[in-house]
Homo-oligomer: A and B are copies of this chain.
């Protein structure tokens, strides 16, 4: 059974609690529950990690090398400047799907560039919780080599 690791970056533990007009009303727990449910349908195992620490995100991504067949990553604000996360993704032998709930590219100009996109397999943004769910589907397909 494929294993997919879902990684969330800084401030995403606050989802659904603050600024719902930007990030939507779902909490991270609800999103993880939805992902668990979808994972069952897809016949895969899903695990979760969230941290506000760039270094912990890098650690988790490195750890995915042996423990998962694919990764779904919402790097939060790190998306726009963390070359350390970028390098961790680039060195990872399993595919990473980048997801964002909001359309980050339509917000402040400093968010118009993702330094991690070039090393991710694909990117899904702007679709709220569906960004995660579609990201999971894509990750599973990538891990199965069907994509």
The yes or no answer to A32 lying at the interface (CB within 8 A) is: no
- Chain A's interface size range is 35 or more
Does A126 contact B127, Cβ atoms closer than 8 Å?
A: no
A74 to B141, CA, bound (A): 21
A77 to chain B, nearest CB (A): 4
Asked if B127 and A131 sit within 8 Å, CB to CB, the answer is no
Contact A124 B134 (CB under 8 A): yes
User: A107-118 toward B: CB 8 Å interface, digit per residue (1/0)?
Assistant: 000111111011
Q: Is A58 part of the contact surface with B, judged by Cβ < 8 Å?
A: yes
B81 and A77 contact, CB distance less than 8 A: no
Closest to A114 in B: B105
Which has the most chain B C-beta neighbours within 10 Å: A113, A122, A131, A147? Answer: A122
Residues from chain B with Cβ under 8 Å of A81 in the complex? 81, 83
**Roughly how many angstroms separate A103 CA and B95 CA in the complex, as a whole number?**
13
Which single residue of chain B is at the shortest CB-CB distance from A102?
B122
A86 within 8 A of B: yes
In the complex, given contacts A18-B93, A130-B138, what are 9 additional A-B residue pairs having Cβ atoms less than 8 angstroms apart?
Answer: A9-B84, A10-B88, A11-B62, A52-B59, A76-B87, A103-B120, A121-B127, A123-B124, A134-B138
